[in-house]
Structure 1
Amino acid sequence: MNSPHPLGGDTVRPAASASGLDPSPVNVRVKIAAAWTSTMFVFAYVDLFGLYRADVRKELETGTIGGFAVGQPFLLATLAFVAVPSLMVLLALVLPPRLNRITNIALSCAYAAAIIAAAIGEWHYYLLGSAIELALLAAVAYWSWTWPRRPLQA
């Protein structure tokens, strides 16, 4: 049975599952916002776990990280890098659908490229975190690309 979708269009409700639990569909905006949120958690934990590494701590003591001087420009750029996905949690919920779709596809692809570049030569925990981030960003791109369409009204 089709029921009106809160953001337009119809949703098809599957038959009740064998468990008797209602498999309520999750709105595409909520899925995308949740994926950005999860991505941010993995970003944070991968960076925090890096502080357990003696080589990272030693490098930080010299005032550098990854060959970059840890100063205002580096910290500003780092904040900008993590602020964008942080803001996407909110923007996925409030942007108009067309702009939302385009923004999510573009940013998820750009962040995927940055994550791949940063993972080259890294430790296994970092590679696992990067793989999880890439899977989440792929979900953002997929859900944005396949955003449900509302039937055109005459």
Structure 2
Amino acid sequence: MTRTDTPAGALQEAHIPVQAKLAAAWASIMFLYIYVDYLGLYEPGFIDDILAGVVHKFDTGPTFVSLALTLMAIPSLMILLSTTLPARVNRATNLVVATLYIPVSVYNADGASWSYFYFYGLSIGLEVLLLAFILRAAWTWPRTTRAAASHDLAQARM
């Protein structure tokens, strides 16, 4: 068997474009955000605080709600932008947004009760790992060589 041969029944590795990997990671982050917020409702006293107009230490007025929506809208939009932006802009956008969201994720531990430290610690850890994956995928975005780009351009002209 040569190095290029594969054993019968071996699974073929599918090539997944960087854009799809980035969109999947942003979607995973959004699922985490949604479930962490939902499961956080089970923390004793959390709903009472919401009914009193407070989330963690913040009043739940229009400013809080607008800020919360903005913080969640950006990762939601990154799912779409990761699949539609041109490669150079896509790479830069993912690097900037993922970098900015690491402190946002870590800040979520502020105000959390110690009895739920494992829950919030696990969720923040997973979010930061996903953001690190996004940073790595965007940073190592494959580049085409001049010869390959010239060949692709020649093929497009035919």
What's the TM-score, normalizing by structure 2?
A: 0.83
Deviations 1:17-56 (A, max 9, x none): 7751111121111000000000000001001011011221
Shift in Å, 1:58: 2.0
Aligned amino acid, residue 66 of structure 1: H
How many equivalent residue pairs?
A: 141
Deviation, 1:120, is: 4.0
Aligned-residue sequence identity (percent) comes to 35
The residue type equivalent to 1:143 in the other structure is A
Query: Which protein has the bigger helix share?
Result: 2
User: CA separation of 1:130/1:41 partners in 2, compared to 1, >3 Å: closer, same or farther?
Assistant: same
Q: Which has the larger radius of gyration?
A: 2
Distance in 2 separating the partners of 1:17 and 1:57:
57
CA distance 1:64–1:99, shift in 2 (3 Å): same
CA spacing shift, 1:149–1:64, aligned 2, 3 Å: same
Q: Please, which runs of 5 or more residues in structure 1 have no aligned partner?
A: 1-13
What is the CA–CA distance in structure 2 between the aligned matches of 1:19 and 1:131, rounded to whole Å? 37
CA displacement, residues 131-150 of structure 1 (integer Å, 9 cap, x when unaligned): 11111110000000000001
Secondary structure at the aligned position of 2:131 is classed as: helix
Alignment of 1:1-154 (within 5 A): 16=6, 19-120=9-110, 122=112, 123=116, 124-153=118-147
In the aligned structure 1, how far is the partner of 2:63 from the partner of 2:97?
Answer: 22
What RMSD, in angstroms, separates the aligned Cα atoms of the two structures? 1.8
Structure 1 pair 28–15 and aligned structure 2 pair: CA distance change class (3 A): farther
1:71–1:152 CA distance, 2 compared to 1 (3 A)? same
